[in-house]
Structure 1
Amino acid sequence: MPPLLVLPFPAIDPVIFEVGPFALRWYALAYIVGIVLAWRYMRILAQNERLWGNQKRPSPVDLDDFVLWGTLGIIIGGRLGYVFFYNPAYYLANPAEAIAIWSGGMSFHGGFAGTVIAMILFAWRRGLSIWTLFDLAACAAPIGLFFGRIANFINAELWGRPTDVPWAFVFPGAGPEPRHPSQLYEAALEGVVLFLVLRVLSHRFALLKRPGFLAGAFACGYGIGRSIVEFYRVPDAHIGYFGGFLTMGIVLSLPMILAGIIAMIWASRNKTGAAVS
């Protein structure tokens, strides 16, 4: 039976405006806004004395300089992750397309790996605590994830499975069936919920004083949230399911969950932290 109510998909042009050969797209704007707001939030956290005690952390200048490193890690890692994880056969046959970021195709897990590498190199060059930089980035990352998933919705991509829920949408190019707005589920779980959880952990429990805990909480929280949404999201057609129910998103998220749990256990054994009164 068809659903009694189907929400009309908001027909928003993916291109905000064009001037000659230049076109500003919502997806690019989401990256820009997400990175800028995440950088500002990291600066605010680093300058809040109450959250750190005697724990050494990056200076505002360090974080200003890190923006370029982090941006390159996100873009290069995200693109390489998509090329190698999601469509290696196509890009092996068409190697020139691998650098065509403007044509679409970014992987969060690849961007995560690229950002981790950028943070390790930056912390090494500046003599900073790697785990503290991880923690700051973890607290801010959900901001970028939120805007990125909203852009996925605007682009009518990465849509969900057919459903009869009253908040279903008929997505352009996805056939006539109403579908889960899985992009909005991800914006809520990976963006809003994860941000609030990390905010409570950093401010109420002062876990920035236990280097590595918040990074582990982010990795674990993202992996769980992404895995939940994967049961409502349609996997890439050329990949499909592993074992009849696992998707590439779940397969890549499981190591994040395990690594996050290990990091939180390790950080919890660090005796330098104390709760905020």
Structure 2
Amino acid sequence: MLSLLAATAAASEPIQWAELGLRPYLFEIGSFQLRYYSLAYLLGILFAYWHLSKMIKSPGAPLAQRHADDLFFYCTLGVILGGRLGYAAFYQPELFGGVELFQLWNGGMSFHGGVIGVLVAISWVAWRGGLNWLRVCDYIAVNVPIGYMLGRIANFINGELYGRPVEGDVPWAMVFPGGGDLARHPSQLYQAGLEGLLLGVLLIALFWKTRARYRAGLLVGIFTVGMGLGRFVNEFFREPDAHLAYVVAETGLSRGQWLSLPMIAVGVAVMIYALMKPPVGGKKTPSKPLAA
């Protein structure tokens, strides 16, 4: 696939997504299909659990393995239920009151709703275990972008959530099924790279290579700002949902961008709070005596 992508990108014609040989499932047995979107959720959750289990073995961890096990269960529920309910609330309120609300296989998950669901799950586990809620959020936030990256790659493999028509010469522009004959931005890959891989590498490096984890709220603040900014920027390249195109026409911004603005504001506030507080377990530096 990569060789075909590179060869086509060098040509003057846009890349035809249909010629990349992609399909939405890894394999099928009878009527069962292991779809990449489901696999992305599974691998993202498994990575988060594995990496969190390594993180809590480092000095100063705010939770134990039993708490990580509880978080694995409740955060999974939070992602699925919050993502679906958030999609219905923010994008398609008509789903409420019908069986379509529970038909997850038809697509429709909200990142912002998933975040809310995870925050509720963390709050429940932290309250039951008497844990520092903000520091638990730090540890969870480090693991989210990698799962997000896998989800956006799955969107690309499915040929869905494609970008807006390109303006000018964009060598990697693609024609997606359902998007007409227009060459479009592969915005799923932009999001996978910026909000997923780049932010994930940054947070993991900050956790393991610096003392950022001792500043309660710093990592989750960076995550929130990074996700909000990344989503705000990438929405300029992503095609708005057809039933929400009026939001862009009326306000100049998409629904996703409006939802990202409070994320950025909250993230900045949390970062400032974290930097103003002394590090957890940190020692105060004795002040120097005034010169005579």
- Pick aligned residue for 1:150 from 144, 149, 153: 153
User: 1: distance between equivalents of 2:195 and 2:70?
Assistant: 26
Pair 1:8-2:16 in alignment: yes
Q: Give the AA of the match of 1:238.
A: H
Q: 1:225 aligns with which of 225, 230, 244?
A: 230
In the other structure, the counterpart of 1:34 is 44
**Bigger RCO of structures 1 and 2 (CA < 8 A, at least 6 apart):** 1
Does the CA-based 8 Å contact 1:156-1:171 persist in structure 2? Answer: yes
Aligned length: 266
- Structure 1 length normalisation: TM-score? 0.91
Matched, 1:78 2:86: no
Provide the rounded CA distance (Å) in 2 between the counterparts of 1:108 and 1:150. Answer: 15
CA contact (8 A) 1:147 1:187 kept: yes
Question: CA 1:56–1:40 in structure 2 vs 1: closer, same or farther (change >3 Å)?
Answer: closer
Residue identity over aligned pairs, in percent, reads: 44
Please report how far the alpha carbon of residue 233 of structure 1 lies from its aligned counterpart in structure 2 after TM superposition.
0.6
Residue deviations 1:45-68 (CA, integer Å, cap 9, x gap): 21123xxxxx35111232122111
- Is the Cα contact below 8 Å between 2:221 and 2:270 reproduced in 1? yes
Cα distance in 1 between the residues matched to 2:67 and 2:31: 36
Q: Which residue of 2 aligns with 1:136?
A: 139
Question: What corresponds to 1:113 in structure 2?
Answer: 116
Rounded to whole Å, the distance in 2 between the matches of 1:161 and 1:262 is 32
For 1:117-138, what per-residue CA distance to the aligned partner results, in whole angstroms no more than 9, with x for missing partners? 0100111111111111100111
Query: Who wins on radius of gyration, i.e. which is larger?
Result: 2
**Long gaps (5+) in structure 1:** 50-54
Indicate the SS of the match to 2:28.
Answer: strand
> 2: CA distance between counterparts of 1:126 and 1:20?
45
Report the AA paired with residue 154 of structure 2. A
Matched, 1:247 2:250: no
The one-letter code matched in structure 2 to 1:160 is G
Task: Give 1:48-67 correspondences, 5 Å limit.
Answer: 48-49=58-59, 55-67=60-72
Gaps of 5+ in 2: 1-10, 284-292
Report the counterpart of residue 208 of structure 1 in structure 2.
Answer: 213
Aligned CA-pair RMSD: 1.7
| 1:52 matched residue in structure 2 | none
Whether contact under 8 Å (1:82, 1:107) holds in the other structure is yes
- Give the whole-Å Cα distance in 1 for the aligned partners of 2:260 and 2:156: 21
| Counterpart contact for 1:5–1:167, Cα < 8 Å | no
Instruction: For 2:101, give the aligned amino acid.
Output: A
* Partner deviation per Cα, 1:183-223 (whole Å, 9 max, x = no partner): 00000011111012212322333111011111111011000
Cα distance, 1:86 vs. partner? 0.6
* Match of residue 192, structure 2, among 177, 180, 187: 187
Report the counterpart of residue 45 of structure 1 in structure 2. Answer: 55
Q: Please say if residues 223 and 267 of structure 2, whose CA atoms lie closer than 8 Å, have aligned partners that are also in contact.
A: yes
